[in-house]
Amino acid sequence: MAGGAVPAGWAHRAGERATRNAGGCLHLFWQVGPMSARLHLQPSAARRVSAKGGAGPGQLLRGTPARRQRPSGPGAPRPPPSHAATLRRCPGRPASPDGMPAAMLPYAWVLMLLGAHSAEAAGKAGGGHLRWEPRCQQPLTSRAPVTALLPPRLEGPWISTGCEVRPGPEFLTRSYTFFPSRLFRAYQFYYQDPLCQEPAHSLVIKGKIRLRRASWVTRGATEADYHLHKVGIVFHSRHALLDITRRLNWTQASRDCAQQLPPAQAWVPEALYELLSARAGRDCTAALGFTMHELSLVRMQRRLQPRPRARPQLVEELYLGDIHTNWAERWHYRPTGYQRPLQSALHHAHPCPACSLIARSDQHHPPVLPAPTALPLHLGGRWVSPGCEVRPAVLFLTRLFTFHGHNRSWEGYYHHFSDPACRQPTFTVYAAGRYTKGTPSAKVPGGTELVFHVTEARVTPMDQVTMAMLNVSEPSSCGGPGAWSLGTERDVTATNGCLPLGIRLPHVEYELFKVEQDPLGQSLLFIGQRPTDGSSPDTPEKRPTSYQAPLVLCHGAARDFSKPPQHRPLLQEPLNSGGCWPPVAPLPFLLLIRGLAFLQRL
């Protein structure tokens, strides 16, 4: 964590950093069996990932790995040498103590080449590749190391990176600027369409913010106080003016506010009307469901975005408090989770077609975003959380879903953690079931409505606290008789779920899905946002109207999953602890390795 010492009273919780060596390393993963040694090759057409995340696809799921993941962390047991070994050879360095002795390296190369020759035929259909990592580092839960800044440094402009959807639904983009004097100016641009191409009205918010202390509720976050000085509104169409006037006329208390707005026939473009003035003691924002309680919970992160043939790009992200899914509760709710993050206008991810448009906009000139590439909703394949996710009520998790489009079945893993970096697991929930054919949503344009049935669930306690809680619970409420043990999965289907963890079976959820493609060509799956009160969308009236953080298709691009899954070659590397596969080197690179092995023998 950069920036010197942390002031007293602040919890120092920085994100995990990867340890890097000066030179590149070639990682060769090999297994030793009684009669054979096999080189693990990575077929590029059948890449695999693993992720972590807790029933319905929005809350309990996880995908089924073909092989059990190896536990990680300082306290995790090491695998016995008879099953696996890792050969790590860095330039100018001997082999690591847990790897192959340096004197045996030439023999390892020969063994590897013999194994590659026999494995190439099996991997040719998928394009066999050796895995090449430019740095010696352990895989992280997210794709790139993340550093959390405590206390956060808010100064500067922060912008949305695309069109956002809030419960309601509300479609908007945001542009916030924080000044060294603790004053801030925020623009919120609202739209009539889900692509943010038809501006309805804009809000300009001015006030002051004061960071207080590290949050006692949401680990890794900072609590803050804010005070609003002014809130103004600009209407970009007569229809938007009529809509706001209609909402203000719902209650007698806000009708005086509606009278301060002009009639529709007197609408003037770019005219600013005051909704809140601290000096005049007037506040007309409550009737619109508007608050800035999102400023009461803050988290700032830095990460490096890898770029081909270029230095990594610094990306700064600002997470602000979440918005309650129930409109009537927004005014009283104090956030415990986050919205989709804003990014620094100076240090944002690339490419970002919307970033420059939003950064240059103001209340009189709202941004009109380019349309993203919309994909038809053909569920199939594996979708994984790109990083650690945060839910209200202090839930940290990652998710991995597998959808089988040929029979409309699904399965998924929710890996729960106790820390915002998702490094300290608490328990894992597996769920499976079926889903119905989707229909276009009439309430949320661009979304697809589905019904998910949860018929099976399994639970794995991953820490002592969760294990103790399950062991003192009634056997009939979770898993039946028998003691729970750490890291051991148990089926809870026969007990109709697991009452201590809030899992009920059988279970039905009314969901909202959407698939998009980001500027890098990566497929994203948006699943409906969970109710803030922790309940389940088990009735059509509780169907989500906004989305959670997107999942990433781990194959990198959409493909046809209408056919049953095909058998995959066994010569694949074990699942990583997160993310999709990194860039790989082709098999012809073995020729260079063979030459190096020959020279080393001289």
Q: Write down the pLDDT at residue 60.
A: 53
Q: Which of 338-347, 423-432, 565-574 has the lowest mean pLDDT?
A: 565-574
**What pLDDT score was predicted for residue 568?**
37
Regarding predicted confidence, which is higher, 147 or 77? 147
Q: Tens digits of per-residue pLDDT, 451-481?
A: 999 999 999 999 999 999 999 999 899 998 9
Three-state SS for 510?
strand
Confidence tier at 349 by pLDDT (50, 70, 90): very high
Flag whether 314 is in a domain. Answer: yes
Is 497 inside any structural domain? yes
Q: What is the pLDDT of residue 99?
A: 43
How much is the average pLDDT of 220-235?
96
Confidence band of 284 (pLDDT split at 50, 70, 90): confident
Residues 437 and 350 in one domain: no
As a whole-number percent, the residues of the chain with pLDDT over 70 amount to 67
Confidence at residue 253, expressed as pLDDT on a 0 to 100 scale: 62
423 and 337 part of one domain: no
Question: Which domain, by its residues, includes 225?
Answer: 141-359
Position 531 scores a pLDDT of 93
Task: Tell whether 265 and 159 lie within a shared domain.
Answer: yes
Strands 381-384 and 342-344: unpaired
Q: Looking at the predicted structure, is the pLDDT value of residue 69 above 60?
A: no
Q: Are strands 342-344 and 164-166 parallel, antiparallel or unpaired?
A: unpaired
- Residue 212: pLDDT band with limits 50, 70, 90: very high
- pLDDT (0 to 100) of residue 104: 46
Based on the fold, state whether residues 424 and 543 are members of the same structural domain: yes
| Residue, of 483 and 81, whose pLDDT is higher | 483
Q: Which of 286-290, 309-313, 558-562 has the lowest mean pLDDT?
A: 558-562
Q: Give the model's pLDDT for residue 191.
A: 97
pLDDT tier for residue 602 given thresholds of 50, 70 and 90:
low
Please give the tally of structural domains in the chain.
2
Written as one letter, the residue type at 19 is: T
Which 3 state secondary structure label does DSSP give 488? coil
Beta-carbon contacts of residue 265 (< 8 Å; ≥ 6 apart): none
User: 309 and 169 in one domain?
Assistant: yes
| Contacting residues for 317 by C-beta, under 8 A, at least 6 apart | 300, 301, 302, 303, 341, 342, 343, 344
Do 335 and 246 reside in the same domain of the chain? yes
Supply 352's token pair: 């970002």
- Run of H or E including 231: strand 222-235
Q: What is the pLDDT of residue 223?
A: 97
At 346, is the secondary structure helix, strand, or coil?
Answer: coil
Q: Which residues contact 156 (CB under 8 A, 6 or more apart)?
A: 177, 178, 344, 345, 346
**Residue 493, number of CB atoms within 10 A of its CB:** 18
Residue 565 lies in a domain: no
DSSP 561-584: --SPPPP--S--PPPPSSSSPPPE
Residues 245, 300 within the same domain: yes
Of 112, 141, 115, 122, nearest to 46 by C-alpha is: 122
Place 444 in a pLDDT band, splitting at 50, 70 and 90: very high
Mean pLDDT, residues 496-525 taken together: 93
pLDDT band at 222, cuts 50/70/90?
Answer: very high
Q: Which has the higher per-residue pLDDT, 313 or 132?
A: 313
Residue 173 covered by a domain: yes
Written in H, E and C, the secondary structure of 246-313 is HHHCCCCCCHHHHHCCCCHHHCCCCCEEEEEECCCCEECCHHHCCCCHHHHEEEEEEEEEEECCEEEE
What is the Cα–Cα distance from 575 to 399, expressed in whole angstroms?
Answer: 15
What is the Cα–Cα distance from 486 to 58, expressed in whole angstroms?
26
| Same domain for 291 and 187 | yes
Q: What is the rounded CA–CA span in Å between residue 85 and residue 362?
A: 58
Length of the chain: 602
Last residue of a domain, one of 559, 577, 593: 559
Residue 53 in domain: no
Strand, coil or helix: what is 185? strand
- Across the range 66-70, mean pLDDT stands at 41
DSSP string, 417-451: ESSTTS-SEEEEEEEEEEEPPPEE-SSSTT-EEEE
Round the average pLDDT of the chain to a whole number and report it: 76
> 381: left (phi > 0), else alpha (psi -120 to 50), else beta?
left
pLDDT reported for residue 240:
92
In this prediction, residue 144 carries a pLDDT of 63
**What letter represents residue 368's amino acid?**
V
Would you say residue 24 lies in a domain? no
Task: Indicate if 348 and 392 belong to the same structural domain.
Answer: no
* Distance of alpha carbon 108 from alpha carbon 529, whole angstroms: 51
**Tens-place pLDDT, residues 87-123:** 344 444 444 444 444 444 444 444 344 444 433 333 3
Does residue 72 fall inside a structural domain? no
Task: Tell me the average pLDDT across 337-354.
Answer: 94
Lowest mean per-residue pLDDT among 325-329, 528-532, 593-597? 593-597
User: What band does 252 get if pLDDT is binned at 50, 70 and 90?
Assistant: low
Q: Residue 527: inside a domain, yes or no? A: yes
Rounded CA separation 402/416 (Å): 18
What is the per-residue pLDDT for 299?
Answer: 96
Range from 11-25, 169-183, 514-528 carrying the lowest mean pLDDT: 11-25
Residue 103 pLDDT = 46
Q: How many CB atoms lie within 10 A of CB 156?
A: 16
Mean pLDDT of 388-399: 89
In the block, tokens 């080449």 appear at 113
In angstroms, the CA 174 to CA 203 distance is 10
Question: Residue 142, by phi and psi: left (phi above 0), alpha (psi -120 to 50) or beta?
Answer: beta
Angle in degrees, 0-180, between the axes of helices 105-123 and 589-601, rounded to the nearest 10: 160
Q: Looking at the structure, do residues 343 and 480 belong to the same domain, yes or no?
A: no
Higher pLDDT, 382 or 582: 382
Using the structure block, give the residue that is written with the tokens 């998928």.
Answer: 126
Q: Are 66 and 573 within 8 A, CB to CB?
A: no
Q: Which residues contact 519 (CB under 8 A, 6 or more apart)?
A: 351, 352, 353
pLDDT band at 58 (very low <50, low <70, confident <90, very high): low
**Proportion of the chain above pLDDT 90, given as a percent:** 51
| Mean pLDDT computed over 159-168 | 95
> Over 90: is that where the pLDDT of 231 sits?
yes
Using CB atoms within 10 Å of the CB of residue 521, give its burial: 0 to 12 exposed, 13 to 18 middle, 19+ buried.
exposed
In this prediction, residue 580 has a pLDDT band, given cuts at 50, 70 and 90, of very low
149 and 293 together in one domain: yes
Residues 162 and 295 both lie in one domain: yes
Distance CA 382, CA 375 (A): 16
> With contact defined as beta carbons under 8 Å apart, do 235 and 192 qualify?
no
Per-residue CA distances from 115 to 105, 195, 590 (Å): 15, 52, 11
